[in-house]
Amino acid sequence: MTLGGKPYHKKFTHREFLEEVWFDDDSSSDVDVDESENEIEPENKVWLLGTTCGSKAETVHQLVHWKYALLNWVNDRLENEGYMTPSRLLERDKMSRKKKVQLIDDVMSKWDLDGTIKDLFRDFNTHVDIAANQDVDKIGRRRDRGR
């Protein structure tokens, strides 16, 4: 397996989640490191993996990107519902923690009543089922069991 493309922030709590990691070109070191200070190997590095490990690595990678898509979906939905306007953001900045939690509860209750939470949970379960039912055949290609 080889890893290609630019390294990106993988921590869900990082404000730049899945955005490209930028490196200091003036760095005195010839080695680039990621957000966790792990050395980043060159793109031509070949990683020797068994078929199961390789398949699981691909699945985890896909689920990280699904999480990113979910974050974007939630952000878009909040924007469409008017929660992300400059005035609403300023209003939230001035709220106490208790009022912010109440606002979150109100949004979640609304999304629960209109079926949004149920739809998101169904989508999540679909992705989990795909990952759980994924199998690897003898030459290393993924296949779905029972489908």
Per-residue pLDDT tens digits for 94-126: 999 999 999 999 999 999 999 999 999 898 888
Bridge partner list, 46:
2
User: How far is the C-alpha of 76 from the C-alpha of 120, rounded, in Å?
Assistant: 14
What is the pTM (predicted TM-score) of this model?
Answer: 0.61
Contact assessment for residue 35 and residue 11, using Cβ atoms and an 8 Å cutoff? yes
For the chain, the structural domain boundaries read 1-48, 51-144
Q: In sequence order, which ranges of 1-147 are alpha helices (DSSP H)? A: 51-80, 86-93, 97-113, 116-133
pLDDT at 16 over 70: no
Residue range 36-66, pLDDT digits in tens:
777 877 778 888 888 778 777 778 777 877 8
Q: Count of residues for the chain?
A: 147
Q: pLDDT-derived band of residue 147, with 50, 70 and 90 as boundaries?
A: very low
User: How far is the C-alpha of 69 from the C-alpha of 134, rounded, in Å?
Assistant: 21
pLDDT at 138 over 60: no
